[in-house]
A and B are shown apart, each in its own frame.
Chain A
Amino acid sequence: MVKAENVSIRYLAGDFSDVGLKEWVIQKIKKERKVEPVWAVQDVNFTLESGDFLGIIGTNGAGKSTLLKSVTGILEPRKGKITTDGNVIALLELGTGFDGDLNLRENILMRGALLGFSKEFIEEKTDEILEFAELTDFQWYKYKQLSSGMRSRLAFSICCMVNPDVLILDEVLSVGDGSFRQKSSEKMLNIIKGGAITLFVGHSTVTMRQLATKILWLDRGKQIAFADNRGDAVELLALYEIFLKIRSKNPKAVPDIDDLRKRYRESKIKAAAIEKSKSSLNDLKLTKEEQQLFDELTADLKNKLQIKTVTLSKIVKFERHLLFNPELITKAEEKIKEITDKPIVLCGNFSICYTLKKLFMDRGIAVAFSGEATDKALEDIKNMTDVDLILTTNEKTAEDIRKLTNARVISTDELFCFKITG
């Protein structure tokens, strides 16, 4: 169990760490010693039971790493308290505690000792660790002779093999290349699902969406929200994504959960309106105004569609690999076929358009044009008569095309890129 009660962590900041004796005395005399305590984490509360996966979200400087440091016990909270059971292992310290001049076996012993295990335990595990890391042939090599990939494999294997009770992950679930990546992420998932408590810090919400049972949102040290069940966790992640979008326009934005929730509901309603289906809104319990919004949107959309511009900017920017996910392409295909049965135009990034064109052609969608938005291409698109759907891969191209046509265009945010968001 990991339990945090009213945890506040104070950090010392200012020009103190490189101060020599002379400066220190002078500053003391002049009383201008500039060491300011900064509250890096304030009043944070959460409880984790075995099997929990806590995703900690928040922008840079939110206090995520500081909080993790106090979970591992390196930093003592100034107020409140954190209790942990069992051995806590952090993968963020992957490279620490290894010595270049010792061979792998000695390094495993050293590293195991640092993690607080007994000699017998580590010696018993050494062969297993070497085997898992696929480094048995290298066991007598010095650590410094290993490639960086081998090093991370070794460190990872040690962390996994000792079956941690509390696991602290920083963005990574796996290391190495190809087959080892697969193997290590499987092993990690086994540990996570095998009853360990996991604390995961990251900016990417993809992993969290899959695994998180609880979500803690920090902003500038303060606890914005804590979701303690799967449903709330997923919703909170969605709110966080909306906040990130707001923050990219206004870096000083402060998360306001109620406002974010309102926007989240609206976007869901818009999506449902475009799909002309209310089924996805069943859990939402619409208010009167929201109900009205839904009706308006559905009515409005019916009159609008002349040329539809859909940007794939989301896919391109964040998850390009989704292009190669057949399931999502199928979704896109259905959506396109629902909108039109005429040829479509693909415009923007050349390679993405090329890939998409091939994929769509295979599925019986005719593509009238595919390529970059050069002046000539735009001229051609303008003169096309038998097209009513243009897909662009980025917002700029979409903007350019919008200028060309007089048709009313649905904005990209509203169409949600066919909801291809993973």
Chain B
Amino acid sequence: MDINSIINSLSPVERKVIPYLKDNISVKEIVSNSNLLEIEVIRALQWLENKKIVKINIDHRSTVKLDKNGILYLSKEIPEKRLLKILKKRSSSIEEFRKFKEFEPEELNYAIGSLKKNGAIIFENKSIKITDKGIALVETNFNEELLLKKIGENTKFLDEFSKIEKLTLEGLKKRTLFVKLDVTKVRNIQLTDLGKSLIKHSSKLKQEFIESLTSSMIISKNYIGKTFRHYDIKGIVPKVFPGKKHFVNETIEYIKRIWLDLGFKEMTGNHIDSCFWNFDALFTPQDHPARDMQDTLFVEGYDNLENSELLKRIKTTHENGWTTGSLGWRYKWDIEQAKKLVARTHTTVLSSRTIANLKKEDIPIKFFAVGKVFRNETLDKTHLFEFYQTEGIVIDKNANFKNLVGYLKTYFSKMGFNQIRLRPAYFPYTEPSLEIDIFHPVHKKWIELGGSGIFRPEVVKPLLGIEIPVLAWGLSVERLITDYYGFTDLRDLYSNDLKKLRSTKVWIK
């Protein structure tokens, strides 16, 4: 870049700083010479450094400033001087000084010790007397006083002190709250070759540039004939963060969109429900392992199930198949087991309730849900105790297994997976049953993504009153999300780390 285009791109504050630049000058000096604020100078220097006009060297220098007592003795004379002045009038004793309360006990001891060492005072039978040397000292300035004055109210750099001053400082450091030591960052400026030649053109800096274009300039056409200052368009700007939905919720919205596009109605419902709706209505026998304490989260309290016609049908279906043509599970069904409350273990509980409330004239119909389900799992990298599931049911007298395959393939292709495998599986409430695997294009392996099937007559007939095919599925949600966002730890989905929430890309499919 030539000198002129650099000049065109200088901001007003940079232009103000440039006249004060010379090698080895500190920021502090520029601030005091230019009457600019320190923050302005630092910012300007950083921009100038970006433009390779200066180089900023950062030094760490030890500093010293007065502490509480140091500030006090600056105006009040140091204790040893006051002690000498009293002794010049009359002799005294340590006890007397102590009673006197003019001196802090530590300071008193220090002053007496130091004066005795210098031969300014002597002890005679517990009485303290001033010597001739002491009398002479009253009229002189102590090194300590001189140093306190030198430090004054500002912070001073240690390397600016003489040898004697440093020695005195060592003494002051031992005394209570006299001085505070610290280390500060000092910025020193070095002009680059470019900087040196720029300074030679400093007359050009006086030229007026347009900074912010204002509305009044436009209206008055004031800009005509003037030059717009060039911005450093490649510079870094402060970050802003947009408002954002949680990425899991974004994915869920996308999933909902798929089902809505396919003509499904949404089902919603409680997270806590009875075993009756979660298990019994889905022909899951009461001794099924899924109903064990180690798999399912049970909630305090009971659902007072009414002794309804539906209850009787479900009981009979479990015991002997009722009129479904099934043998049933052949055991004695217990209503007390059905009354227990659980954190729902699958969204299929929404399907059982929906089917039970359906009128015959509503059929054919299709429903979907996306909702949370719960398991009694420990929380780790690959397990969550609560997670989402997406559920679907298709109720139609002509629905068949082919259609089930069709819906699953359509859904997964809309999720971006065209290679899926349907594998025989077992669930107590579907027959035929299947598990869905998708072929992961990167990991090159099959990944299990959910269960599906046609609801058994033992499920549908007691709930609906008639036997009709109901296609059903319950599919994983989190696994698709971790895959899309590249998470390897499931817990990261719900850690709500602000930095992650802000930087995670949006769901685009």
A binds B: no
Q: Which chain B residues have a beta carbon within 8 Å of chain A's beta carbons?
A: none
